[in-house]
Amino acid sequence: MNQVLLATNSKETPVKKIALTLVAVSALGLAACQGGSDANTSSGNETADAINQANSDLANAQEVADNALDTAANLTEQAGAAIENATEATGDAIENATK
């Protein structure tokens, strides 16, 4: 189960870094295009669309990571319950065998 957690956490950080880098580069691009021409407006719109898409992708990646963590937690809980049941059954079997 730890492998799932480690794999999920290691992928989450690069996604955030990529999104933040895209936002920073986009902000610089917008700052450089302060002319007001159609080309600048079009570039600004494309940059805004890219930022919105990056934010959407980041939100989706976080949701996938959250779902994976929830699944891992549920599986861990189920495994613990199965171990508890097996231990109890073993104890009962030993008790019955020694009577």
Task: Say if residues 81 and 28 touch (Cβ distance below 8 Å).
Answer: no
pLDDT digit string, tens, across residues 57-85: 999 999 999 999 999 999 999 999 999 99
pLDDT in tens, 5-36: 444 445 556 777 777 787 777 777 766 666 55
Residue 26 or residue 93, greater confidence: 93
Q: How far apart are the first and last CA of the chain?
A: 39
Domain ranges of the chain: 2-97
Write down the pLDDT at residue 1. Answer: 37
Q: What is the pLDDT of residue 4?
A: 41
Q: Using the predicted structure, report yes or no on whether residue 42 has a pLDDT greater than 80.
A: no
> DSSP 3-state helix, strand, coil percentages of the chain (rounded to 5)?
90, 0, 10
Global model pTM greater than 0.85:
no
- pLDDT(51) > 70: yes
